Chain A
Amino acid sequence: MSPEPRMVEVRKNVLKQNDVIARSLRERFRNEGILAVSLVSSPGSGKTTFLERTLTLLRPPYRVAALVGDLATENDAQRLARSGAPVKQITTGTLCHLEASMIQKALDGWDTGKLDFLFVENVGNLVCPSSYDLGEDLRLVLLSVTEGEDKPLKYPTIFNSADVAVITKMDLAPAVDFNERALDRNIEAVRPGMQILKLSAKTGEGMQEVLDYLHKLQRLRPQAASMS
């Protein structure tokens, strides 16, 4: 045994296994023409209500389905099933986030080839989900007006991992003296140029913009034939 320790270079991504699965999911979604959209937010920001509304409005004409991650209960899946779309629950137990392998397992044996959209609702958490690629095409970060305008500054990492900010519960804005300009400024500070959609899933205000946006992305999504 040599007395001196020596350094050996490794250079391996710790989340490599997750990234490999995420990549294969992304390829699968692309080949099947599915636009995969994930949702992250704090608990209670209105992910499930937003998703229920979105699923209902997209269908028909679109064929949509959802995977919903939750720590313990299946309540969210039951709520989402009211939209008429196929919904599968992923119960994570004590795990605070979804990983690509859970998506893969949940999709196992599910004929997703006929879908246009697959929504993935992450566990309510603004920290842990940011590290894990789920193979989604689009990640929405949801924030309700009751949570405070400075939330993007407190959780810059998740805002940086997301593509679009969705501001929910806009119908409550007057009641909580919501400062819209401050929130816009804070989102712009942590993620310059980030698209912001503002809505109330309860009243339906702003939902048309969401549908238009999703419709546009589904239409423009890269086709399997043009895959490089």
Chain B
Amino acid sequence: MHELSIAMSIVEMAQEEAELRGNVQIQAVHLRLGLLSGVVKDALLSSYEMACETTALEGSRLIIEEIPVEIYCSNCEAQRPVHSIQYFCCAECGTPSAKVTRGKELEVFALEIRE
């Protein structure tokens, strides 16, 4: 369970951004979370609340957009969704591929602020 330390990094990062913008109030943090990031959405959501306590972000929301896993399919010669996280092959033609092109994201994408 490393979601708490991830949540604390998110809060820290958001606070820095708020300061850079003249101590704006942050209402929500938008996060892109890849299904292969190794971070569990629900655990992160509850950790976020804890991490926000007694900080300027207390009461803010964490909005998570889950990013599906995509691979490069050599048969389709294109980026394709993976069949499933247990089965790394092209969802369209079934060609196996270990070239992950999407789904490892752990990124603060945007902030909802009030000036």
Q: Which residues of A contact B (CB under 8 A)?
A: 1-2, 4-15, 17, 95-97, 127-128, 130-131, 153, 156-158, 160-161, 188-194
Contact = CB atoms under 8 A, between A and B. Distances in A.
Contacts of B108: 10-12, 14
A188 B96 contact: yes
Contacts of B115: 1-2, 6
Interface of B: 1-2, 5-6, 9-10, 13, 17, 21, 27-28, 30-31, 36-39, 85-89, 96-98, 100, 106-115
Contact of B10 (A9, A14, A95, A153): A14
A12 B96 contact: no
A1 B21 contact: no
A26 B38 CA distance: 22
Contact of A14 (B27, B30, B100, B106): B106
A66 B15 CA distance: 38
Contacts of A8: 17, 21, 110-111, 113
5 contacts: A8-B113, A131-B6, A156-B86, A158-B38, A160-B100
* Secondary structure dominating the interface of A: mixed
Given A6-B114, A127-B2, A131-B37, 5 more contacts: A5-B114, A7-B111, A9-B110, A189-B87, A192-B96
B36 A157 contact: yes
Contact of A128 (B2, B27, B100): B2
A52 to B, nearest CB: 27
A5 B89 CA distance: 42
A196 to B, nearest CB: 13
A11 B106 CA distance: 10
A190 B85 CA distance: 7
A37 B86 CA distance: 26
B108 to A, nearest CB: 5
Given A190-B86, A192-B88, A194-B98, A10 B106 contact: no
Given A2-B114, A128-B38, A193-B98, A11 B88 contact: no
Contacts of A131: 2, 6, 37-39, 106
Contacts of A10: 13, 17, 108-111
Nearest to B37: A131
Contacts of A95: 2, 5
